[in-house]
Every structure is written in structure tokens, then in C-alpha cells.
Amino acid sequence: MAIDALSSKKAGALAVIAVSGVSLMCIPAVARPAGTADHRPAPASAGGGGGGAAPGAPKLPGGLSALSWTVADADSGSVLASKDAHRKLAPASTLKTLFAVTVLPKFSAGTVRQVSAADLDGIGAGSSVVGVRKGERYKVGDLWRGVFLRSGNDAVHVLASMNGGWKVTAREMQETARKLGARDTTVKSPDGYDAPGQVSSAFDLTVFARAGLANADFARYCSTVRADFPSAGGTTRIENTNRLLAGSQGMARYPGIIGVKNGYTTNAGNTLIAAARRDGRTLLVTVMNPQSGEANGVYKEARSLLDWGFRSAGKAQPVGTLRTTGVTHGAGGPPAQTVAHSAEADDEARDGSTWRSAVALWAGGVGALVLAAGALLAWRMHARRDSSGGGPS
């Protein structure tokens, strides 16, 4: 009997240990959040303190004087090389890419607007204009050509009025930037005109261009070299001010060029987002405020970076990644898939993962205690039966 009781005690203790061990083994470990490294730029593209390309890639071009620049693969979102990509600088008219990403899907190209005096209020002194006139009627498609080809702030003002006004549009642009994971951008003037506190970065502008190129209307407008714009008594021929696209002002047209947008203000200097496609690969290069003082400097530096990017195919490992994959569509088009995977989304996923892990730990611990208590109770009942002679012999 004593031997049986001792055996029962040992069995009960072993049962408790075994059950507890199995329960603890089933508790999920708190893991490092998946995707964190994939969605946050590497130090070379994090701004503030240089940058560069990955080991094994071709040597970066010499003579780069821009305060900030990036080279990225538009399809994968990989940043191939950069310098101070998150440095906050005045964007000039390259900010019109964010304006287009925000507003372009809302109105079909054939929508007609009769321009009022209020539509043209507040255009900054010295602004680039396409020649929009009060009282005249314009199709939305013409206004967008005025935005992309001539960087017309007058056309931006009319479209912003259609969108609910200047302040509403600035606020919506800010919201769009946030959704796309572009955290360096502060919007004050939707046309990119210099305004206190208005900044963006080479990284953010690349994000906007990538999101825009996913929209067929954006891609078409930003790649248009020449178009007719309505004017008194007929039309006026306008040409794109992006010299890499138009092949003008001493610059040859870049092979495979797509667009996207150039800009200039006194505060921003020259800025440019350029996209080009060769051999099934699309690259985006953003250059902000070259310091060389050389004529066409922003175009020459962008061209040399595009050349480097195409030479680096299959050689340059990403030094960072764009934080978004945005897909939009033109007004009246089919429903579109829209994804905004940002660092903020990663934070939310990490919080959710941590919360679920904590719940799993708690549930696992409670389960172990319940099972152990059950095993102990069974052992005691077995011991009582042994002492009363009712158990097996």
C-alpha cells in the first residue's frame, strides 16, 4: 500500500511537471516584428549624414553637388542609392506631384470649369502660369496639361477651387502624404510656391512620383512633351519645361524618359523628379538643389544618376526601401486597389503582435495551472481510494 501510494505521489508530481512543461512549450514567443527591416529605410537613405550605394555596385558618378538625392526602382520600391534622402528642403513645383496624386482622381478630364476671379486669387508674385483667364471655360484635362507642362500655378488654383479651396486642398495633400508614409512633408501651398514651413524631401517626392505613375492619367500628363492650350481666339502650343523630357535648352532628351516634374524657386533652387524606363526596368531619380551653379546642373546630375542606376541592374543591393505601394486610378475609371504600407502601419502591426503575444502568454499560463490542479486532484482521490482499500491490488 505504501509503495502504491508513493508511486501515486510520484505519478501525480510527474503529471503536474509534464502538463506544465507542455503548456509552456505551446506559448508563442514574442518575436521581432516581421517586415520591420523591409519597410524602414536603411541608414544610407535615412537622411542627415551622407549616404551612398551598396558594396559591389558601380562607383557613383562624380560631380554630384545636390543637397539631397535618391535613386530608386519604381517597380520594387528599392532605394538603390541616396544622399540625405530625408533632409527637409523646399520642394518648389515638384510638390505638384502630391497635388496631382491627391486631386487628379476626383474629376474626369472632360469636366468643364468656368473660371471665376475667386479661382485665381492668391497666385504668388512671379509664379509660373499657363495663361488661364477669368470668365473662360476650360476642360479639366487642359488644366492638368497646364500643371504638368508649364507648371502653371494658375491652373493649380482653379483645380484647387474645384476641390473645395486652397486650405482644404492643402489639408488633403497632407493627409495623402501621411497615408503614403511620407513623413518629411509639410504642405502650406499646394502649387509648391515658397511658403514658411513648407518642406519635403527627396525620399517623399520619390514616393509621390511612384504613387502617381501608378495612375494612367498622371503617367500620361507627366510624359506629354507638347500640347495645345486654349487661348484667346484659339489655342497656344505649350512645351514641357522638363528639359530631359523635351530635349530643350541645351539638354538632349534622355533615352527612355517618362517624366515626371521639375521645379524652381528662390528658396528651393532647382528640383527635379525624373523617371525613365529601359529593358523592362523603371527608375526614379530625385535631385534637390544642386550647389554647383552649373547651367542645367539639376538635369545633368539627374541624368548621371539615371545612367548609374541602369548600369547597376543586378549589381546594386537596396540600401533602403520606399515605404509605400500606392495605386490610384483616374476619375471614372475602374475600381482600383489601393495599398498604403507605411512605417505607421508597421507600428500598428507591431502593437497588435505584442498584444496578441501577451494574451497568448496569459492564456498559456492559466491553462498550465488548470491542468496541474486537475492532475493534483486526481492524485489525491487516488490516494484516498488506496487508504480505504477500494483501489486495485
**Crossing angle of helices 140-150 and 96-103, rounded to 10°:** 160
Asked whether residue 28 is domain-assigned, the answer is yes
pLDDT at 53: 72
Question: Is residue 357 one of the residues assigned to a domain?
Answer: yes
Return the closest-CA partner of residue 118 out of 171, 168, 160, 170: 160
- Same domain for 223 and 99, yes or no, is yes
How many structural domains compose the chain? Answer: 2
Q: Kindly state the DSSP code that residue 59 receives in the 8-state scheme.
A: P
Say yes or no: 17 and 84 in one domain: no
- Based on the domain organization, do 230 and 266 belong to the same domain? yes
Based on the fold, state whether residues 241 and 268 are members of the same structural domain.
yes
Centre a 10 Å sphere on the Cβ of residue 392 and count the other Cβ atoms it contains. Answer: 6
Per-residue pLDDT of the chain (393 residues), as tens digits, is 443 433 444 444 434 333 333 333 332 332 322 222 233 333 333 333 356 776 778 999 999 999 999 999 999 999 999 999 999 999 999 999 999 999 999 999 999 999 999 999 999 999 999 999 999 999 999 999 999 999 999 999 999 999 999 999 999 999 999 999 999 999 999 999 999 999 999 999 999 999 999 999 999 999 999 999 999 889 999 999 999 999 999 999 999 999 999 999 999 999 999 999 999 999 999 999 999 999 999 999 999 999 999 999 888 889 999 965 444 434 433 333 323 333 333 333 333 433 333 334 344 444 444 444 554 444 444 444 443 333 333
Residues 251 and 132 in one domain: yes
Q: Does residue 393 belong to any structural domain of this protein?
A: no
What distance in Å separates the CA atoms of residue 350 and residue 343, rounded to the nearest whole number?
Answer: 10
Active-site residue (options: 151, 161, 189, 200): 151
- Inter-CA distances, 264 with 22, 112, 228, 259, 267, Å: 67, 30, 24, 16, 8
Is 248 in the active site? no
Residue 17 covered by a domain: yes
* Catalytic residue check, 93: yes
Same structural domain, 16 and 107: no
Same domain, 18 and 136: no
**61 with 130, same domain?**
yes
274 and 165 housed in the same domain: yes
CATH number at residue 78: 3.40.710.10
Query: One of 82, 93, 161, 312 is an active-site residue; which one?
Result: 93
**Per-residue model confidence (pLDDT) at position 340:** 33
11 and 60 part of one domain: no
Indicate if 96 belongs to the active site.
yes
- The answer to whether residue 392 is domain-embedded is no
In a domain, 30, yes or no: yes
* Domain extent for 11: 2-34+349-387
Which string of b and e fits 295-308 if b means at least 16 CB within 10 Å?
Answer: ebbbbbbbbbbbbb
Write down which residue in 341, 360, 378 finishes a domain. Answer: 341
Q: What is the pTM of this model?
A: 0.73
- Distance separating alpha carbons of residues 379 and 373, to the nearest angstrom: 10
Q: Which of 83, 96, 261, 300 is catalytic?
A: 96
- Do residues 255 and 319 both lie within one domain? yes
One domain for residues 166 and 70: yes
